[in-house]
Amino acid sequence: MNNGYILETKQLTKKYKKSTVLNSVSIHVRKNTVYGLLGPNGAGKSTTLKIIAGLLKQTSGEVIFNGNKWTRNDLIHIGSLIENAPLYGNLSAEENLEVIRTILGLSKERIQEVLQIVGLTNTGNKKVMNFSMGMKQRLGIALALLNRPNLLILDEPTNGLDPIGIQELREMIASFPKQGVTVLLSSHLLSEVEHLADDIGIISNGVLGYEGKYRSEDNLEALFTEIIRTQAVSS
Ligand SMILES: Nc1ncnc2c1ncn2[C@@H]1O[C@H](COP(=O)(O)OP(=O)(O)OP(=O)(O)O)[C@@H](O)[C@H]1O
Ligand SMILES: [Mg+2]
């Protein structure tokens, strides 16, 4: 049974002692689309993405992957870049990818393929500790793509990128759905997901205040501000 969603969360809740940082969040990510999870600092974006990527456990609620209750085995189909990429500073880009490629048992060619996708083919022996922020970010995405995931989770992927890097990343992300890769990304800026996301969710203070198709004629800026204000008042 599948309703066209590659991923859903059902009343996902995360509590730390007395504070509820996610409160019954239900998102619906359609297969082969880009979903933008928007919200201000501390809204609960990374917490949501970490639960889906298996880095955190929810207090209650469920994650449904491809119509079934999420299990750790689903992680073979999920690539993620959340907060900082786990990189070895003393290794080159290729060597970093080689470590994970070996663990996953993938073919050698895949390394050049992902380097090509993220535009990082010319860094040679340069050690990652000498990479710029943007280069590290690209390498993090390359790592997340190694396994040919069906679902790619990117937490604030434009962090540290220059305007050209942001534009290139947008084009890269936009090209994924037609290659069978669904993208779930987070941002605190509406402008970053505009014209890129098919659907958006707006989260504030742990509550999903809006979810729907992105339509360029909608005044999302006003909606975004209103949701953030409403949640701030009710908390
Ligand atoms: N280990 C923890 N213990 C207690 N509270 C935590 C813990 N980790 C996160 N939080 C709280 O959970 C809330 C949501 O954090 P989260 O990192 O998901 O926000 P975010 O939307 O990703 O924000 P940002 O845009 O700043 O990255 C915050 O209020 C944060 O302080
Ligand atoms: Mg975050």
**122 touches ligand 1 (CB under 6 Å):** no
Cβ–ligand 1 distance for 17 under 6 Å, the answer: no
Q: What is the Å distance from ligand 1's center to 155 Cα?
A: 13
The two structure tokens encoding residue 73: 């085995």
Residue 235 reports pLDDT greater than 80: no
Distance CA 80, CA 84 (A): 11
Q: What integer pLDDT is reported at residue 1 of this predicted model?
A: 45
Ligand 1 pocket residue status of 39, Cβ below 6 Å: yes
To the nearest 10 degrees (0 to 180), the angle between helices 133-145 and 163-175 is 10
pTM of the model: 0.92
Domain extents in the chain: 5-234
Average pLDDT of span 47-76: 96
Superfamily of domain 5-234: P-loop containing nucleotide triphosphate hydrolases (3.40.50.300)
> What is the per-residue pLDDT across 67-88, written as a single tens digit (0 to 9) for each?
999 999 999 999 999 988 889 9
Mean pLDDT of the 153-158 span: 93
**CA dist., res. 54 & res. 149, Å (int):** 15
Q: Which residues contact 171 (CB under 8 A, 6 or more apart)?
A: none
Mean pLDDT check: name the lowest of 60-64, 135-139, 225-229: 225-229
Cβ count near 171 (within 10 Å): 10
Q: Which of 45, 55, 192 to mutate to test the pocket of ligand 1 (most atoms within 8 A of CB)?
A: 45
Q: Is 209 in the pocket of ligand 1 (CB under 6 A)?
A: no
Q: Which two tokens stand for residue 193?
A: 């997901």
